[in-house]
Amino acid sequence: MSDELLFTSATRAAALIRDGALSPVALTEAVLAAARRVQERLNPFVVLLEEEALTSARAAEAAVQDGARLGPLHGVPVSIKDQVDVRGVRTTYGSAIFADAPEAQVDDVTVARLRAAGAIIFAKTTLPEFGHKALTDGPGFGTTRNPWNTARTSGGSSGGAAVAVATGLGPIALGMDGAGSIRIPAACCGIVGLKPTLGSIPWQQGADAFGNYTYAGPMARTIADLSTMRSVLAGPDASDPWSLGAADLPLSPRLAGRDLHGLRIGVMERTGNARVQREVAANLRASVFVFEAMGAATEAAGGDVDWMEMPGRVMYQANFAISQRCHLAEWRDRMDPTLLAFMERGETFSLTEFREGQYARTRLFRAIQRLFDRFDVLITPTLTRTALPADFDAAHDEVEIEGELCGITRQGWSSYVYPFNLTGHPALTVPSGFDETGMPTGVQLIGRWGAELDLLRLGAVLEAARPWADRRPPPV
């Protein structure tokens, strides 16, 4: 089987399929065969939808032969995080609680839009129980491992999706991001991931639509594929109130030319974290230099922002305590111990602390808005260091960077990502290089509300200057 076929981009595969030069059946068969091989070692999938995918692929091939109108992802395989409903497939949320749940009766709006664009749904991907942590493992399915080094985590909670894309098992995947859950695994596995503006892509399954900080978003190997998938997913839906008023901003005039003269970039080397791995910092500086060489003006930013780690933690863990307490009587001994620890901590917080967290969220939003009075875009590392060990205990272990303990994951590892779930600003992670052990690093670009087009343009600049899609993990 040709790796070139597996690592063909979504946009190229769709073009070849439209021209009759590539069979969607052959492409789907190749992806499924590789997925079966990779599953045993890396564990990215909850289920492979082989029969359904091949039926869809045969229909896609017939549509090409019949000269039917084809969507932008026609015949392209895509995986769906098992937190999102797919018609005819149970949604397990990474939990034994739902291992025997009824099959979903209808597609989530995001899945329906992917189908309408011609995509082939071929698998559902792993996540930690209810997507609660930044590593993908659990008592019900084991550990999803990093394809660059199986002793490391894939990240989480969209860890299975990131592994699938990184290893050529579909060029695109649908992830979910509640506190970095697209961007963390994307950075760990060396791919691209977008947390959109709040409401840009509807989130139909949220229990608290108005207080939402969870986002559906695309994951891919290239900016072009990410952009295409995002264009398919975006747009209002009656189920999500934030989506009803969402609109894309036009591309900034400062980004419309060949260079970046006039663009103002705020560089945030630290947020709430004490340390950053030296290679991560060096790759951030190299990425910033790309923009400077094209005329952008850069300046340190964010030093006076209160990143509300503790108030954010109160909201996050208290929400889990409330939403999952109904399962404890029957399922406690089969739930992830980390989730139980989060819930136990969440139960100790008062209503006053929870409301203070909500007020802090507003203050953080306004602080970021003030930064955008001075800057057109912000840039940070995506994570403070490369992927953590696969057996890292997210409830109790401290993150270690170059021999120094730096606190729990929100303080020591993912401090750059969770704030923008709370503020709603779009955030894009792209690969920035590798450390001396060969593990990927990433940089995060943050834009104004609705400014995804600016981020995608700058992501494409970095991709052209410091290409990453030709780098592949060791074969499985």
Which token pair is 172?
């695109």
Query: Mean of the per-residue pLDDT values for the chain?
Result: 97
**pTM score over 0.95:** yes
Strand partners, 441: 433
Confidence (pLDDT) at 3: 87
Q: Is residue 353 one of the residues assigned to a domain?
A: yes
Closest CA to 128 of 184, 71, 53, 56: 184
- Indicate if the pLDDT at residue 387 is higher than 60: yes
pLDDT tens-digit series, residues 176-208: 999 999 999 999 999 999 999 999 999 998 899
Determine the 3-state secondary structure of 351 from DSSP. Answer: helix
pLDDT tens-digit series, residues 453-474: 999 999 999 999 999 999 999 9
Confidence (pLDDT) at 148: 98
**Residue 90: pLDDT band by 50, 70, 90 thresholds?**
very high
Is residue 415 within 8 A of residue 180, CB to CB? The reply is no
Which token pair is 195?
């947390």
Is residue 188 within 8 A of residue 152, CB to CB? The reply is yes
Determine the 3-state secondary structure of 330 from DSSP. Answer: helix
Closest CA to 85 of 117, 112, 119, 48: 112
* Measured distance CA(181)–CA(421) in Å, rounded: 10
Write down the residue that tokens 């003006």 correspond to: 297
Stretch 384-411: mean pLDDT: 97
Confidence (pLDDT) at 206: 86
Host H or E run for residue 5: helix 3-6
* Measured distance CA(198)–CA(17) in Å, rounded: 34
How many angstroms from the chain centroid is the CA of residue 456? 15
Q: Is residue 226 one of the residues assigned to a domain?
A: yes
pLDDT tens-digit series, residues 78-88: 999 999 999 99
Q: Is residue 44 one of the residues assigned to a domain?
A: yes
Q: Is residue 476 one of the residues assigned to a domain?
A: no
Q: Is residue 212 one of the residues assigned to a domain?
A: yes
The count of domains in the chain is 1
Determine the 3-state secondary structure of 457 from DSSP. Answer: helix
Confidence (pLDDT) at 476: 80
Strand partners, 434: 440
Is residue 344 within 8 A of residue 401, CB to CB? The reply is no
Which stretches does DSSP call E strand in 204-277? 215-220, 264-267
CATH number at residue 15: 3.90.1300.10
Helix residue ranges per DSSP H, 96-141 = 109-116
pLDDT tens-digit series, residues 205-241: 889 999 999 999 999 999 999 999 999 999 999 999 9
Is residue 120 within 8 A of residue 56, CB to CB? The reply is yes
Confidence (pLDDT) at 221: 98
Question: CA Rg, the chain, in Å?
Answer: 21
C-beta neighbour count of 205 within 10 angstroms: 18
- Indicate if the pLDDT at residue 70 is higher than 80: yes
Q: Is residue 206 one of the residues assigned to a domain?
A: yes
- Indicate if the pLDDT at residue 1 is higher than 60: no
Domain hosting residue 151, numbered range: 3-465
Q: Is residue 17 one of the residues assigned to a domain?
A: yes
* Measured distance CA(285)–CA(292) in Å, rounded: 10
- 24-42 helix and 10-18 helix, angle to the nearest 10 degrees: 150
Q: Looking at the annotation, which residues are catalytic?
A: 81, 157, 181
* Measured distance CA(106)–CA(236) in Å, rounded: 18
Determine the 3-state secondary structure of 27 from DSSP. Answer: helix
Confidence (pLDDT) at 446: 99
3-state helix, strand, coil in the chain (%, to 5): 40, 15, 40
Q: Is residue 332 one of the residues assigned to a domain?
A: yes
Is residue 90 within 8 A of residue 98, CB to CB? The reply is yes
- Indicate if the pLDDT at residue 149 is higher than 70: yes
